[in-house]
Structure 1
Amino acid sequence: MSVEILTKEDLIRFKIELITEFKNLINERNDQKKKWLRSKEVEQLLNISPGTLQNYRINGNIKWSKFGNTYFYSLDSINQSFDDNSSAPFS
């Protein structure tokens, strides 16, 4: 069985590599957008009330999915709604 000796420089190099890897993981996570938003998040994003969001849902202004008792809204769909109605607010 061979024995390897770690030097202070080895530990410093390992520390730098470890910190760099953590930074990369954090940056990757921050770069990923959420694909689905809950009702509260959409209300805050659009600065609307729960009733207004319900009207958008009923009128088909915003596409949604329901899982259990929770409504989810596609962020891409919301952005598309803004692009489609860029000259006027939701109809």
Structure 2
Amino acid sequence: MTTLDLITKEDLENFKKEFFEELRNLKMDGADKISKKWLRSSDVRTLLGISPGTLQTLRINGTLRFSKVGNIFYYKNEDLTKVLEENLTKTS
């Protein structure tokens, strides 16, 4: 004879809460890592403190390379570092 396990609505609610909590933890762990290889536009704007228009200008004039998947722009972290280092100014 087989046993039948019933899943209640409460069981599903608990699973959903645990699942989303785990997703939040994963997202928070990744959000603090500057060393991610690819960054989205919002990450780049936050790191550089620039507006969406300024970021668009950097793309258009070729200052910052990008990759586009669907409607999302991605930027290599190493390219950001390179652009920043190339634009270092010397003070006397």
Instruction: Say yes or no: TM over 0.5.
Output: yes
For residues 42 and 31 of structure 1, do their structure 2 counterparts lie closer, same or farther at Cα, with a shift above 3 Å needed? closer
1:71-90 alignment to 2 at 5 Å? Answer: 71-87=73-89
Which of 1 and 2 has greater Rg?
1
For residues 31 and 42 of structure 1, do their structure 2 counterparts lie closer, same or farther at Cα, with a shift above 3 Å needed? closer
Aligned length: 60
Aligned to 2:70: 68
Aligned to 1:47: 49
The two structures have a TM-score, normalised by structure 1, of 0.59
1:7-18 alignment to 2 at 5 Å? Answer: none
Aligned to 1:24: none
Extract unaligned runs of 5+ from structure 1.
Answer: 1-28
Extract unaligned runs of 5+ from structure 2.
Answer: 1-29
SS in 2 for 1:87: coil
Cα root mean square deviation, aligned: 2.2
Q: CA deviation at 1:33?
A: 2.0
Percentage identity across paired residues of the two chains: 43
Q: CA deviation at 1:35?
A: 0.4
The two structures have a TM-score, normalised by structure 2, of 0.59
